[in-house]
Chains A and B, each alone.
Chain A
Amino acid sequence: MAPLYLVRPYPARTLAFALTVSLLALSACAGASMERVDPSADDDVGGTLIDSADVIAATESAAKDLAGVLLASERNDIVVAFATIKNESIQPFNTALLTDRMRNTLVRQTSPRVKYLAREQIDEIIREREGKRTGVYAGKELKALLGADYLLTGRINSLSKRYEGDRSDYFQLNFQLVDAEDSVIVWSDAYEFKKVGDAGVIYQ
């Protein structure tokens, strides 16, 4: 007499296949994926605005060029302050991404011949100085706050077009070194790019 099955038995190969597929499906849902990528390379996300690759390319080129100019000077006491980079583009953007990266490269390549001022921290510096001068903190050496010989500044501009889901964006990232006494522009550099993209058909 044949055995009584409530459910017809599946062949072992079918069960193994089903198990493998289930495990693969489960492993795909196990957690959020993460992959470390090169910030100076284009990514798969796309978009036509400024991204990390542009920040790195723009600051790399400008800082290298400016460092060469500063080191070529016969002076050993040049003082540079970082002023605001104006954003006149269509992209809300934290311009500290540009100034911080410029500063890192310039300080590494040109200090101590060129001095850089930390104007963003001026309030904390003044409090610290007052603490030392009033005896709250012990101070080794009292120095005057330096004024800048030059201001490193810049501006982001953009020109954009949109048409039925198509888009193109042209950006200019401009940097300038301005004499803080007579306002003469002594150095400038620009990085520019144009990107095009389009919208998926279901979003047009």
Chain B
Amino acid sequence: MRAPRRTLLVVALASCLAGCASTDRSGGTKFLREGRFAEARAFHEALLVEEPRNAALEQNEAGVMALLAGDVSAAQRYFREAFDDLEDLSSTTGETVGTVLGSAESRRWKGEPYERCMNAYYLGITYWLQGDDDNAAASFKSGVLRDADSEEGEAQSDFALLWFLMGEAQRSALHSDRGQAALARAHALRPENPWTEPQRASTGNVLLVLETGLGPRRVPVGRHGADVAFRARPGAVVRAEVRLGDRELGSTAAIGDIYHQATTRGSKVIDRISGGKAVFKDAAVIGGAVVLRNSGSRTSDVIGVALLAAGLLASAQNDMRYWSSLPDDVHVLLADLPEGPQTLTLTAYGAGDRALGLTWSVPVVVRANRVVLAWTRALPRRAAAPLDPAP
């Protein structure tokens, strides 16, 4: 009767340990959905202090909240720190051993390739909003390279959004080829987007960027959650009509399908590690139970309990941390507007071209010989706070 009691004890202990696995990060998304950006930012800032291994993740989340609230310089600080953190993909022996033997979430968060690309995207957006199109172009270019790092094959560097923004920022900053190569690549990737058409893409002095929906959610699947699946969280907004006073400027068109980016990047080493741990977990539990059932001595009792404990305690679940405040899609529109302060008016439409009753304004200061950026986001409750126009 000793062995079953021990088994129960081990099971209870394992259950307790399994219960303390990861931090609940859903509060940030809740605040975001309700348009409470300051509270969402404070939520992630608190986690930033609590969980240093998730620093880059919380900086990215806090950066989005700061940007939504109109605090571009704070957003840039967060994205810049996360950018530097994500550039360093080295790992210590301790971190590697901890990840292989323990939880996949014990390592520092470096994100999936699509999340690393989106960090570069947001850093570029904040540079551009502050009038620094040179560094905006550098950020987008870096994002394109992060995309290329993800795997071999056709998915390499297929992030049309980054190519397009890089081309437009290079055109604005008067880089060597005025962004022509990057814009041509964006057009090749998304020919159905009218704003990537070469003639249109190389004219216009205002680029409107509109984000919609929420980015993909990571969910555990397979044995012990060793595999990862993504669930799309599209928003209601399918497009937005843009006007300057009475003048119609056209309709935004999608160019940055984040769900597609998340789901076309192939497997990674961590997936194989988690898969291996799931097999070990099953084998150890079954092996331990078999040994205990046929046990005839104290030694085989100990071996059986040890195997059972190892199996129950081993964490095979994959890394479930993800950047929750990303958009589902990004739309663009180019316009040629008179110099000086202007106010764009956006009206949102959903599926079946149904008016969603959501209209909001985006201010922008148009400058001579530059492409200026106007950035906004359509959220379930309301659009992001209007940003101060770039200097």
Is A92 a contact partner of B90 (Cβ separation < 8 A)?
no
Residue from the list B139, B142, B174, B269 in contact with A201, Cβ < 8 A: B269
Residue of A nearest to B98 (CB): A202
Question: Would you call A47 an interface residue if the criterion is a C-beta within 8 Å of the partner chain's C-beta atoms?
Answer: yes
Question: Would you call B277 an interface residue if the criterion is a C-beta within 8 Å of the partner chain's C-beta atoms?
Answer: no
Q: How large is the interface on B (under 10, 10 to 19, 20 to 34, 35 or more residues)?
A: 35 or more
Residue from the list A46, A91, A95, A202 in contact with B99, Cβ < 8 A: A202
Is B268 a contact partner of A204 (Cβ separation < 8 A)?
yes
Binds A, one of B58-66, B80-88, B228-236: B80-88
Q: Which residues of A contact B110 (CB under 8 A)?
A: 203
Q: How large is the interface on A (under 10, 10 to 19, 20 to 34, 35 or more residues)?
A: 20 to 34
Q: Given the interface contacts A162-B145, A162-B149, A202-B99, does A92 sit within 8 Å of B123 by beta carbon?
A: yes
Residue of A nearest to B108 (CB): A203
Is B145 a contact partner of A45 (Cβ separation < 8 A)?
no
Binds A, one of B130-138, B216-224, B284-292, B327-335: B130-138
Q: Which residues of A contact B269 (CB under 8 A)?
A: 201-204
Q: Which residues of A contact B170 (CB under 8 A)?
A: 88
* B106-162 residues at the A interface, CB under 8 angstroms: 107, 110, 123-124, 127, 134-135, 137-139, 141-142, 145-146, 148-149, 151-152
Is B145 a contact partner of A87 (Cβ separation < 8 A)?
no
Question: Would you call B354 an interface residue if the criterion is a C-beta within 8 Å of the partner chain's C-beta atoms?
Answer: no
Question: Would you call B257 an interface residue if the criterion is a C-beta within 8 Å of the partner chain's C-beta atoms?
Answer: no
Where chain B touches its partner, the secondary structure class is: helix
Instruction: Tell me the bound Cα distance from A165 to B175 in angstroms.
Output: 29
Binary B-proximity of A82-104 (CB < 8 A = 1, otherwise 0): 00101111111101000000000
Instruction: Tell me the bound Cα distance from A128 to B91 in angstroms.
Output: 54
Is B91 a contact partner of A202 (Cβ separation < 8 A)?
yes
- Of B123, B134, B151, B176, most buried by chain A (CB within 10 Å of CB) is B134
Q: Which residues of B contact A45 (CB under 8 A)?
A: 88
Q: Given the interface contacts A87-B134, A88-B176, A93-B138, does A200 sit within 8 Å of B91 by beta carbon?
A: yes
Is B268 a contact partner of A49 (Cβ separation < 8 A)?
no
Is A47 a contact partner of B87 (Cβ separation < 8 A)?
yes
Q: Which residues of B contact A49 (CB under 8 A)?
A: 87
Q: Given the interface contacts A86-B173, A91-B142, A92-B83, does A200 sit within 8 Å of B148 by beta carbon?
A: no
Instruction: Looking at the assembled complex, report how far the CB atom of B255 sits from the nearest CB atom of chain A, in whole angstroms.
Output: 21
Is B145 a contact partner of A202 (Cβ separation < 8 A)?
no
* A21-76 residues at the B interface, CB under 8 angstroms: 45-47, 49
Is B138 a contact partner of A46 (Cβ separation < 8 A)?
no
Residue of B nearest to A94 (CB): B135
Question: Would you call B95 an interface residue if the criterion is a C-beta within 8 Å of the partner chain's C-beta atoms?
Answer: yes
Instruction: Looking at the assembled complex, report how far the CB atom of B165 sits from the nearest CB atom of chain A, in whole angstroms.
Output: 14
Q: Which residues of B contact A197 (CB under 8 A)?
A: 90
Residue of B nearest to A203 (CB): B89
Q: Which residues of A contact B88 (CB under 8 A)?
A: 45-47
Instruction: Tell me the bound Cα distance from A46 to B92 in angstroms.
Output: 13
Residue of A nearest to B270 (CB): A202
Q: Which residues of B contact A111 (CB under 8 A)?
A: none
* A130-178 residues at the B interface, CB under 8 angstroms: 160, 162-165, 167
Q: Which residues of A contact B273 (CB under 8 A)?
A: 202
Q: Which residues of B contact A167 (CB under 8 A)?
A: 149
Instruction: Tell me the bound Cα distance from A4 to B95 in angstroms.
Output: 47
Instruction: Tell me the bound Cα distance from A86 to B138 in angstroms.
Output: 10
Question: Would you call B203 an interface residue if the criterion is a C-beta within 8 Å of the partner chain's C-beta atoms?
Answer: no
Question: Would you call B343 an interface residue if the criterion is a C-beta within 8 Å of the partner chain's C-beta atoms?
Answer: no
Question: Would you call B96 an interface residue if the criterion is a C-beta within 8 Å of the partner chain's C-beta atoms?
Answer: yes
Instruction: Tell me the bound Cα distance from A163 to B145 in angstroms.
Output: 10
Residue of B nearest to A86 (CB): B134
Instruction: Looking at the assembled complex, report how far the CB atom of B57 sits from the nearest CB atom of chain A, in whole angstroms.
Output: 14
Instruction: Looking at the assembled complex, report how far the CB atom of B175 sits from the nearest CB atom of chain A, in whole angstroms.
Output: 5
Question: Would you call A1 an interface residue if the criterion is a C-beta within 8 Å of the partner chain's C-beta atoms?
Answer: no
Residue from the list A164, A165, A202 in contact with B107, Cβ < 8 A: A202
Is A200 a contact partner of B96 (Cβ separation < 8 A)?
yes
Q: Which residues of B contact A92 (CB under 8 A)?
A: 80, 83, 123-124, 127, 135, 138-139, 142
Is B176 a contact partner of A200 (Cβ separation < 8 A)?
no
Instruction: Looking at the assembled complex, report how far the CB atom of B268 sits from the nearest CB atom of chain A, in whole angstroms.
Output: 6
Instruction: Looking at the assembled complex, report how far the CB atom of B107 sits from the nearest CB atom of chain A, in whole angstroms.
Output: 5
Question: Would you call A199 an interface residue if the criterion is a C-beta within 8 Å of the partner chain's C-beta atoms?
Answer: yes
Is A87 a contact partner of B135 (Cβ separation < 8 A)?
yes
* A168-204 residues at the B interface, CB under 8 angstroms: 197-204
Residue from the list A87, A89, A163, A199 in contact with B89, Cβ < 8 A: A199
* B66-103 residues at the A interface, CB under 8 angstroms: 80, 83, 87-92, 95-96, 99-100
User: Which 7 residue pairs spanning A and B have beta carbons closest together?
Assistant: A200-B91, A199-B89, A162-B149, A203-B89, A92-B135, A90-B142, A92-B138
Q: A88-B134, A202-B100, A203-B91 are in contact. List 6 more A-B contacts (CB 8 A).
A: A88-B137, A89-B138, A93-B138, A160-B145, A201-B91, A204-B89
A interface with B by C-beta (< 8 Å): 45-47, 49, 84, 86-93, 95, 160, 162-165, 167, 197-204
Q: What are 14 of the A-B contact pairs (CB < 8 Å)?
A: A45-B88, A46-B90, A88-B137, A88-B175, A88-B176, A90-B138, A91-B142, A92-B83, A162-B146, A162-B148, A200-B91, A201-B96, A202-B273, A203-B89
B interface with A by C-beta (< 8 Å): 80, 83, 87-92, 95-96, 99-100, 107, 110, 123-124, 127, 134-135, 137-139, 141-142, 145-146, 148-149, 151-152, 170, 173-176, 268-270, 273
